[in-house]
Structure 1
Amino acid sequence: MAGAGTDVRVTRGEDGTIRVAAGPVLGHIEVCDDVAAAGPDFTRSVLDVAGAVLVWPVLGESGLPVAEIHDAGRAQQWLWAVYGERVAAAVHDAAAGEPAGAHVMTETSALAGAAARLGYGHWAARWWPASYPDGIPVLEPDVLGLEFAALTHRCQQLFDDYGDQPDDCVAELIEEHRSALAPLLQWWRATPQPADTARHLDSVLRLIDDAADCAGLDGTALRRLRSALDEGPDHGRTVTPAGPAALFARQVGYALAAGDPLVAGGRVIARGSGTNDWRRYPPGFIDAAEHAVSWTARALGARRQIEVEVVAHVAAPTTGAPLAAEVRVNGSRPLRVPLGRRDDVWTGRADVDLTPDPSAATSAPPRIEVGVLLPGFDPGAGPEARADRDAIRALARRRLAGAAQPVADDVYDGVAGPFLAETLAATATSEDY
């Protein structure tokens, strides 16, 4: 997290949007990456708050966010708590039409740290690179959702009652993920476990209880939570030698789905790997491995056919998902190949024209490019981002490696500390995901 010596700049765009951006000052050299514009979507965490959007870089230090403020009046309720009173005053002046471009020195606040953590959590729910071949386990969605609820409640100053902030949904999160409350309580009462994990569990459960009470929620699971918190973790203390992951064990068998099985035969012309661009489909569809997309081109008599196989995410839907492969030959217009899930892969095939590449100096094999997308969701192919995807995988591995290590008492005020779902994932075996 950024500390004392953070230089915050307040500027106003031609459209009236006010930007607040921060970076450390090293001597007279200003260091500030424009995280709102640089890099692919999956390298940034984003939080929609009252009157603004907050953005942090996922790769590197989180520090204070970049704020894109579209309603300075609504944003005043949290600006001072995130950036300090002088920044809030500078934003007020900019909104009133005074010359913008102010530089203000500020310190990081507790709300800024909690907001950065909540932003990272939303990023993880969308972009965590879960992959069986890469050895990166999935994050338990119900555990992640309940910690979202706790953090959103903790960060309630960032939100207001206008109803246009999709990230302010404490009651919905608790209702949607309340099935994880019972195993979370078992984990809270379990021994042995590190003291920092016990404190983390206690903090999350008490925030959920308070959030549910403020939202007027009720039900058996929430009443049991209140009773357990009143009694304390020693009441009903249990021993779980199998580890916490066993409390959240899921059935991950693959159901047979629509889609014809690929038929071997014919002469293999070429094989290759496609591009696995995470931005072209929603989370929970495709394994995040770089080589999750593969293809085989065959000659079947006079016909030429391409077969596509894509490793499925463990949570991928078995039916009803119109996932497709996009095939280009020699830079041609894309051919859409419908994919159906069968066991642990998405599969599909189609006849294609595989004439040699006319742009090559000599007769050369056709250039075949294959990607995967969900029509209607797909924003279109972006620039190649292999290095960024590798960096995200490295980040996930570092966080998993550190998830079981002791941490400082206040680490949960920043992104550095593991989420409960990351702690669970770090204890998982290959059979668990």
Structure 2
Amino acid sequence: MAPPPVDVRVTRDDDGIIRVADGGAGPDFTLAVLDVAGAVLTWPVLGDPGPPTAEIHDVGRAQQWLWAVYGERVAAAVHACATGEPAGTRVPVDPTTLAADAARLGLGHWAARWWPASHLDGIPALQPDVLGLELAALTHQCQQLFEGSRGALDDFADFGDQPDDCAAELIEDHRAALAPLIQWWRAASTDTAHQLERVLRLIDDAADGAGLDGPELRRLRSVLDRPGPAATAPLDPATLFARSDGYALAAGELLVSGGRLIARGSGTNDWRRYPPGLVDASETAVSWTARALGARRQFEVDVVAHSAAPATGAPLAAEVRVNDGPRKRVALARRDDMWTGRTDLDLPPGETRPRVELGVLLPGFDPGPGPETGAERDAIRALVRRRLAAAAQPVANDAPPHGSSSAPFLAEIAATTDEDY
């Protein structure tokens, strides 16, 4: 049964931006965000997503999808607000299929950016090719959100303000995973097989509309036209999408550099300060040690690397502040499964309990330290664990439909069989 309608508030600010909202915001990593024609849509990841918040900067372009996401009454209220009628009205939203599909697409982009993969916390990473192909399918399914029709890859530059209208790019980037995805479809249980077939057919349609070609796509079309008998033996998807990075978390105590131990502690692992795929998402991934080496006082930083982190080429850094002094940057280098760095610090003679603030960041990407968000990060981890637990269970009769944002993604289903975690 469809959920009852809810009201949203339609307002206009001094810059002419029209906002459709039903709730507050939160830290970046608690929001699913989608760039669409003339607007940005956001949903809270924690709790019931409900209708999205929209910040509309071009009402003319947004009118093509407003009615299909919010219903005709909200679309009319936005148009009236744009033409000068009093703002601040509350309007009921009519739940729609496109709204549910858009929420799932937004959550998929959130997972690609903020999924808290951690060996320390036992949260498996999502296989990027599997997630990327499902995002391509969802993008094609939600094409009404994006203005115009996209053709060959050479035309992509015309849509620079809509980075989430990217079905063709996603197919190109992850086409190598089409063959194992087909294998999984042929061997999967009934419900997962239906989800896989739906994704594969949407990919085929999107590729055809964008003029993409190649052996992987031709084989996909052939298999969809003549699927043939299903495989008889069960298949573990983790074996199809196995990583080959050779990552193994080091056991035991971290290596030390000698000298007299003064103090040690942990830092803050603020996910907003570096891109995905560099640092293990655990709260305990960032640690420091202060040592006395004769008259010198050396500060050592250790950060557990993400399983996909590059061995070289990522100028990751730590930001250190001791006893409310100035902040100091420390360059980090990859050593096995760790990012490490050292610097000399001035400490008062006899100091044994320095007050240390430590965070990890990528210069040029970093928005700067913000308010502490440890509780929200814990809530995200709890959400992810619930989703993985649901993905590992047989589908129940009352399970959410595949179009629901709460239904597991294929990458989540595959991650539940990853024995590395």
SS at match of 1:74: helix
| 1:179 partner amino acid | A
What is the deviation of 1:21? 1.9
More displaced 10-residue stretch of structure 1: 377-386 or 363-372: 363-372
| 2:191 partner amino acid | D
* Alignment match of 1:215 (pick from 210, 234, 241): 210
Check the 8 A contact 2:273/2:365 in 1, yes or no: yes
Matches within 5 A, 1:114-153: 114-153=101-140
User: 1:32-67: CA deviations, max 9, x gaps?
Assistant: x223xxx21001110000000001000000111011
Check the 8 A contact 1:245/1:425 in 2, yes or no: yes
Task: State the distance in 1 between where 2:356 and 2:144 align.
Answer: 52
Match of 1:73 in 2: 60
Check the 8 A contact 1:285/1:315 in 2, yes or no: yes
Matches within 5 A, 1:385-396: 385-396=373-384
| 1:84 partner amino acid | G
Check the 8 A contact 1:46/1:53 in 2, yes or no: yes
User: 1:120-158: CA deviations, max 9, x gaps?
Assistant: 000000000000010000000011000010000000000
User: 1:292-314: CA deviations, max 9, x gaps?
Assistant: 00111100000000111100001
| 1:180 partner amino acid | A
What is the deviation of 1:364? 6.6
Is 1:165 the counterpart of 2:146 in the alignment? no
Is 1:205 the counterpart of 2:192 in the alignment? no
Task: State the distance in 2 between where 1:301 and 1:105 align.
Answer: 71
User: 1:9-52: CA deviations, max 9, x gaps?
Assistant: 21111211111124xxxxxxxxxx223xxx21001110000000
Task: State the distance in 2 between where 1:312 and 1:74 align.
Answer: 43
Match of 1:174 in 2: 171
Matches within 5 A, 1:268-347: 268-347=261-340
Match of 2:402 in 1: 412
Matches within 5 A, 1:240-259: 240-241=234-235, 243-254=236-247
Aligned-residue Cα RMSD (Å) equals 1.9
SS at match of 1:229: helix
What is the deviation of 1:404? 2.7
Aligned length: 404
Match of 1:367 in 2: 355
What is the deviation of 1:355? 1.8
User: 1:221-245: CA deviations, max 9, x gaps?
Assistant: 000100111112x43625235x111
Matches within 5 A, 1:90-129: 90-129=77-116
SS at match of 2:416: helix
Task: State the distance in 2 between where 1:106 and 1:172 align.
Answer: 33
| 2:138 partner amino acid | L
Task: State the distance in 2 between where 1:218 and 1:289 align.
Answer: 41
Unaligned 5+ runs, structure 1: 23-32, 256-260, 358-362
Task: State the distance in 1 between where 2:387 and 2:40 align.
Answer: 26
Check the 8 A contact 2:124/2:415 in 1, yes or no: yes
Task: State the distance in 1 between where 2:93 and 2:356 align.
Answer: 53
* Alignment match of 1:402 (pick from 390, 399, 403): 390
| 2:164 partner amino acid | D
Is 1:428 the counterpart of 2:418 in the alignment? yes
Check the 8 A contact 2:267/2:357 in 1, yes or no: yes
- What TM-score do you get using the length of structure 2 for normalisation? 0.92
Check the 8 A contact 2:262/2:352 in 1, yes or no: no
What is the deviation of 1:410? 6.5
Check the 8 A contact 1:2/1:107 in 2, yes or no: no
Is 1:348 the counterpart of 2:341 in the alignment? yes
Unaligned 5+ runs, structure 2: 149-157, 249-253
Task: State the distance in 2 between where 1:278 and 1:2 align.
Answer: 35
Match of 1:183 in 2: 180
Q: 1:378 to 1:2 in 2, by over 3 A?
A: farther
| 2:332 partner amino acid | L
Is 1:57 the counterpart of 2:44 in the alignment? yes
What is the deviation of 1:412? 2.0
User: 1:382-427: CA deviations, max 9, x gaps?
Assistant: 1000000000000110000001331568712221100000001112
| 2:276 partner amino acid | P
Check the 8 A contact 2:69/2:96 in 1, yes or no: yes
Match of 2:151 in 1: none
Task: State the distance in 2 between where 1:410 and 1:225 align.
Answer: 28
Match of 2:76 in 1: 89
Q: Percent identity?
A: 70
SS at match of 1:403: helix
Task: State the distance in 2 between where 1:154 and 1:372 align.
Answer: 38
